[in-house]
Structure 1
Amino acid sequence: MGALIRAEFRKTFTTNLWWALLIPVAVIGFGAGWMGTTFVGIINSVQQLDRPVPLALLSVAMSANFSTIFGALFGALSVAGEYRNRTITTSFLTSNPRSAVLVAKLIAAAAIGAGYGLVNVLCASLGGLLGASQDLGNFGDIGDWLSVGGTCVLAMVLWTLLGVGFGALVANAVLAIILPLVYKFVVEFIFSMALVGSNVPGIGPYLPGAAGNGIVSNLAVPLFITAVAGPDEPDVPRVAFEVLHVFFGGHYGHPWWASLLTFLAYTAVFVAGGWWANQRRDIA
């Protein structure tokens, strides 16, 4: 197994895929951090607050919502790309059992996903810091910042693992790119809008994209509200939470750990589906 894992890392770092997808993660992270600072600045211009505004919490949440898709694309292409180039044939023929290759890919992808998550958090924090004129007080409590940053890394790892399972399931590089993008930014958005005002609005937080975003946002938004409102946080109107969730993802009143468990279930389903397909697919 150790040799297979090392081989997966060699495959990764001898191609351009990993750093090509890392660039938008860094750029989006920095940009989201900057925009998050601007959004908080607008609030502060309307109502001067007597305490620092922990903008970094929201900046990291926004950057995670837009960046995790690149982790999923990396995971999917790490498998589907090998099917396209037929390089996976040698791996399957020289390893026993065949599922060991998928396990090695999952381990390597988890490590790469964690790296993507760390870059995302650091770039979002840098963007937020520069946008806030280097006011370190706006990062809030260090424990809150580390908690939100940790969930960002965790979300990126899970999206990357889901991508590996999806790539193994479809075994087509074109579909591995198009389907995740279309689903997250088109299909789920339309479905979420259709649920507004319906008799089943509670389904929204359990959709794959919403659950993935909620891992970070359903933690960041309540922490932000608590830090800004102080001990009077229970008196904050619901609309304040809902507005922040519209901009930064997640759903009002839905705990972050429920989003984590929901998305973990989706990840397990796709990994199991990829394993099943790999066991039965011709590789010649």
Structure 2
Amino acid sequence: MGGLVKAEFRKIFSTSLWWALLIPVALLGFGAGWLGSSIVALIDAVEQFDRAVPLGLLSVSMSTNFSTIFAALFGAMTFAGEFRNKTITTTYLTSNPRSAVLVAKLIACSGVGLSYGLANVLFASVGGLVGAGRDFGGFGSLGDWLSVGAAAVLAMVLWTLLGVGFGALVANAVLAIIVPLVYKFMVEFILSLSLIESPAAGISPYLPGTAGNGIVANLAVPLFVTAVAGPDEPNTPRAAFEFLHLFFGGSYGHPWWASLFTFLGYVAVFIAGGWLVSGRRDIT
């Protein structure tokens, strides 16, 4: 297995895909961090609060929820790209059984997904410092920042693994790119809007995109409200939470760990589906 994992890392780093998709992750992280701290500075200029406004927590949530699509695309293309380049035949013939190839890709891609997650949090931190002029108040407490950062890294890794499973399932480079983009930014967005105030509104937190976003957002939003409202947090109106979730992802009243387990279910389904289909697919 060690040899297979090394081979997968060699394939990854011999192409430009991994760093080409890393660039927008870093830019989104920096931009979200800078924007968040700049807004805090603007708020402070208009009205002085008696406590810090940790908008940096929400900035990480925003950058993560946009950046995870690049991790998913990377994971999907590592498998579907082999079918496009017709290297999958050699891969399978020299790496029996086929399931071992899937496991090796999952291990290698999780490492890259980890680097994407760390880059996202790092650049969001740098952007926040640049926008705030080295003022750490916009990051919240160290514990809150580390918790949200860890959730962001975890979410990035899981989206990468889901992408690998999806790529193994469809084995088509075009579908591996178009379907995740269209679903996350169009289909689920429209579906979520249609569910608002409907009898089926309760299923919204269990949709794949909402669950994936909720890993970070359902942690960051309550921490932000608690930091801003202080002892009055229990009296914060529901509308305030829903407004924040509308922009930064997640669902009101849905714990982050529930989103995590929901999304883990989707990851498991796609990986299992990719394993079943790829094990029977004709590679000639």
| Superposition TM-score tier, normalisation by shorter sequence | over 0.9
Secondary structure, in 3 states, of the residue corresponding to 2:271? helix
Higher deviation after alignment, 112-121 or 126-135? 126-135
Match of 1:56 in 2: 56
SS in 1 for 2:279: helix
Mapped partners of 1:33, 1:68: distance in 2: 16
Shift in Å, 1:42: 5.3
CA–CA distance in 2 between the matches of 1:197 and 1:230?
Answer: 30
Match of 1:125 in 2: 125
Residue deviations 1:64-107 (CA, integer Å, cap 9, x gap)? 01000000000000000001111121111012211100000000
**Structure 1 counterpart of 2:235:** 235
Residues in 1 aligned to 2:147 and 2:241: alpha-carbon distance in whole angstroms: 19
- Structure 2 segments unaligned to the other structure (5+ residues): none
Aligned-pair CA distance for 1:47: 4.4
Q: What is the aligned-residue RMSD (CA, Å)?
A: 1.2
User: Which residue in the other structure is 1:198 paired with?
Assistant: 198
TM-fit CA distance, 1:40 = 3.8
How many residues align? The count is 284
Mapped contact 1:59–1:125 kept (Cα < 8 A):
no
Corresponding position of 2:207: 207
* Residues 1-10 or 244-253, more deviating: 244-253
For residues 14-33 of structure 1, what are the structure 2 equivalents within 5 Å?
A: 14-33=14-33
1 CA distance for matches of 2:219 and 2:151? 8
- Give 3-state SS (helix, strand or coil) of 1:280's partner: coil
1:46-195 to structure 2, matched below 5 A, reads: 47-195=47-195
Asked if the contact 1:29/1:120 (under 8 Å) is kept, the reply is yes
Q: Distance in 2 between matches of 1:95 and 1:137?
A: 52
Structure 2 match to 1:34? 34
Q: Alignment identity in percent?
A: 73
- Structure 1, unmatched stretches of 5+, are none
C-alpha contact 1:226 1:233 (8 A) present in aligned 2 = yes
Letter in 2 for 1:109: C
Shift of 1:231: 1.8
Whole-angstrom distance in 2 between the partners of 1:238 and 1:268? 33
8 Å CA contact retained: 1:65, 1:213: yes
Partner in structure 1 of residue 254 of structure 2: 254
Displacement of 1:44 after TM fit?
4.4
Note the 1:212-231 alignment, pairs <5 A: 212-231=212-231
Q: Equivalents in 1 of 2:119, 2:187: separation in Å?
A: 28
* Matching residue of 1:2: 2
For 2:158, give the aligned amino acid.
L
Task: Report how far residue 48 of structure 1 moved.
Answer: 2.7
